[in-house]
């Protein structure tokens, strides 16, 4: 019989870690506007209220019930919105804020403004919103990915650093790379880079198991199914995994002034392996919708099973959140007005929506069909992909030529695997191999094996809720702490960015650039020289 997980075996030690404390509320708390009241906007609004010293002060969202729902829950409650608390469009907010500032300059009594924005609109809209807000000088947190093309990423970078080649930021900026901010990954990085519990890192194998039905929901039937309308799945799903690896292997350790250890090469392979017509069961015939398919009851991808039945967070399990409310955003209102049967009827009505051979392709591609056959969808993003990054020896020139000159800068390799067909859903795991030991890290524990002593140490970081192992809350907390430091404690932006956000603008661009380089390598079946690729594609664009 295996020992209980909490009972150490010989040469084994278990370390439990508590939750990080919530910052004390500021007397003049940072005020935030949420732009985009979808799942991520609601997630950051919740995180702000539960884990930060800021307040949500306004929302901009074109869909009325989404705007009303977020506002009632996080801003105005039952009292209803006041002036400056809700906007149907972010452009309306910009106009209102410009007028508010003009009125204040004339000495008029005006509502209090906001200090920062959480940008949670569709990925392809990020650049337009960031650039559109630039004139207001707000601190910005943008949900990942930063943009859906390298050109747009560089344009955003330039808009945030308007005094190039001076790269000193004028406002705090953060990106939704939430994996950096979970208690688990913060501890993992400390163990690797500060405590050096396995010596120098030699290689990392990191896997993101997307989940078979989760992939079908988001990347076959949902918003992120087609590169022409969004971006590759490596960007939309896994850009923060690439960022996590670069944070561990490329970025300088905390309190270090040494330059980043840049990757030397990148290569990638992957494709859409499964979700296409060649895999469609013959018995399904010409059906394009689950509810009219003759084999619906036996198909694991049945939309009725996934969204209605209890097995996969369906409505009958009592779940009205993700993924159910992605299909019917006002599902709670449907249940309030029509009871459980009203909710089921609304959900089934959406799942029954279908198209025919006469339906224009433009109409089919313009919306999500959550009841469609997964083998008949217009998806083209990879459902399995591997990215390999390598680093060469890069000793620091100002350190004598001994073992310390390569500390943290020796040759190493990182392999990332994004795989759709898994039972686990986004429960990432990594094997990390070093000169003095190895680590296995999953979503709950970090297990360190020491080659020198033969001992095993198991760390159990606090398992925070709220998404991404507490990363959502951690990101919101650190971004708002940075805004608070600038607003209330006379800390300059660059220092607040470094101390609280812990991620520079260059790191944001580098992580995204690595994704675009990997995609180029995959399509061309090549191994790219990353420093040269960066010079050709990023440095050259910054000077145009």
CA-to-CA distance for 426 and 418, rounded, in angstroms?
10
Beta-carbon count within 10 A of 450 CB: 17
Instruction: Compute the C-alpha angle 304/295/324, nearest 5°.
Output: 10
Q: Where in the chain is the domain with CATH 3.40.50.720?
A: 16-195+466-503
10 Å CB burial of residue 444 (0-12, 13-18, 19+) is middle
The one-digit pLDDT tens for each residue of the chain (544 residues) are 343 445 555 566 777 766 677 888 888 999 999 999 999 999 999 999 999 999 999 999 999 999 999 999 999 999 999 999 999 999 999 999 999 999 999 999 999 999 999 999 999 999 999 999 999 999 999 999 999 999 999 999 988 887 767 778 889 999 999 999 999 999 999 999 999 999 999 999 999 999 999 999 999 999 999 998 899 999 999 999 999 999 999 998 887 888 899 999 999 999 999 999 999 999 999 999 999 999 999 999 999 999 999 988 899 999 999 999 999 999 999 999 999 999 999 999 999 999 998 999 999 999 999 999 999 999 999 999 999 999 999 987 766 655 567 888 999 999 999 999 999 999 999 999 999 999 999 988 999 999 999 999 999 987 766 566 778 999 999 999 999 999 999 999 999 999 999 999 999 999 999 999 999 999 999 999 999 999 999 988 887 7
Topology, domain 200-274+380-435+504-530: Dihydrodipicolinate Reductase; domain 2 (3.30.360)
Q: At what angle do helices 126-133 and 150-160 cross, to 10 degrees?
A: 10
Rounded CA-CA distance 175/509 in Å is 10
CATH number of 16-195+466-503: 3.40.50.720
Spatial separation of the C-alpha atoms in residues 198 and 365, rounded to whole Å: 50
DSSP 362-384: HHHHTS--TTB-TTSS---S-SE
Residue 143, φ and ψ in degrees, nearest 5: -60, 150
Rounded-to-5 percentages of helix, strand, coil across the chain:
40, 15, 40
288 burial (CB, 10 Å; 0-12 / 13-18 / 19+) is buried
Q: Where in the chain is the domain with CATH 3.30.360.10?
A: 200-274+380-435+504-530
Contact in structure between 180 and 475 (CB atoms under 8 Å)? yes
Looking from the CA of 530 toward its CB, the CA atoms found within 13 Å total 25
Give the integer Cα–Cα distance in Å for 456 and 438. 10
Nearest to 57 by CA among 31, 19, 27: 31
Nearest alpha carbon to residue 504 among 523, 534, 482: 482
């Amino acid at each position: 019989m295996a020992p209980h997980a909490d009972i150490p075996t010989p040469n084994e030690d278990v370390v439990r870690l508590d939750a990080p404390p919530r910052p004390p509320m500021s007397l003049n708390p940072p005020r935030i506007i949420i732009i985009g009241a979808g799942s991520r906007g609601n997630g950051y609004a919740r995180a702000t209220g539960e884990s930060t010293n800021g307040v949500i002060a306004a929302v901009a969202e074109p869909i009325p019930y989404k705007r009303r729902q977020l506002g009632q829950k996080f801003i105005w409650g039952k009292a209803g919105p006041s002036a400056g608390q809700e906007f149907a469009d972010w452009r309306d907010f910009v106009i209102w804020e410009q007028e508010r500032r003009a009125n204040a300059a004339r000495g008029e009594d005006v509502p209090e403004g906001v200090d920062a924005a959480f940008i949670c609109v569709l990925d392809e809209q990020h650049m337009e919103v960031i650039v559109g807000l630039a004139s207001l000088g707000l601190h910005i947190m943008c949900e990942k990915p930063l943009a859906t093309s390298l050109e747009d990423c560089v344009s955003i970078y330039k808009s945030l650093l308007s005094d190039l080649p001076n790269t000193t930021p004028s406002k705090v900026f953060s990106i939704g790379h939430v994996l950096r901010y979970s208690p688990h990954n913060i501890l993992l990085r400390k163990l690797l880079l500060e405590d050096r519990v396995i010596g120098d890192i030699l290689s990392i194998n990191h896997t993101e198991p997307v989940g078979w039905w989760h992939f079908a929901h988001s990347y076959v039937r949902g918003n992120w199914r087609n590169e022409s309308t969004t971006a590759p799945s490596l960007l939309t799903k896994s850009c923060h995994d690439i960022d996590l690896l670069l944070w561990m292997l490329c970025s300088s350790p905390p309190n270090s002034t040494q330059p980043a250890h840049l990757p030397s090469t990148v290569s990638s392979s992957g494709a859409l392996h499964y979700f296409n017509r060649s895999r469609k069961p013959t018995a399904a015939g010409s059906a394009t919708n689950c509810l009219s398919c003759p084999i619906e009851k036996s198909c694991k991808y049945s939309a009725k099973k996934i969204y209605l039945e209890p097995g996969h967070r369906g409505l009958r399990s009592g779940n009205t959140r993700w993924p159910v409310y992605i299909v019917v955003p006002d599902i709670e209102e449907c249940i309030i007005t029509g009871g459980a049967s009203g909710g089921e009827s609304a959900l089934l009505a959406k799942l029954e929506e279908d198209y025919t051979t006469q339906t224009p392709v433009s109409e089919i591609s313009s919306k999500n069909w959550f009841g469609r056959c997964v083998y008949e969808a217009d998806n083209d993003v990879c459902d399995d992909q591997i990215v390999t990054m390598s680093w060469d020896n890069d000793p620091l020139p100002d350190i004598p030529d001994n073992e310390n000159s390569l500390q943290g800068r020796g040759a190493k390799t990182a392999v990332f695997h994004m795989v759709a067909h898994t039972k686990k859903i986004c429960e990432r795991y990594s094997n990390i191999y070093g000169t003095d030991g190895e680590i296995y890290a999953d979503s709950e524990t970090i297990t360190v094996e020491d080659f020198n002593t033969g001992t095993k140490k198991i760390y159990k970081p606090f398992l925070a809720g709220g998404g991404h192992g507490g990363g959502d809350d951690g990101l919101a907390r650190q971004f708002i702490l940075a805004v608070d430091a600038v607003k209330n404690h006379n800390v300059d932006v660059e220092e607040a960015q470094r101390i609280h956000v812990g991620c520079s603008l260059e790191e944001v661009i580098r992580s995204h650039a690595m994704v675009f380089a990997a995609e180029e390598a995959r399509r061309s079946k090549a191994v790219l020289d990353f420093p040269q690729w960066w010079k050709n594609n990023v440095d050259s664009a910054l000077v145009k």
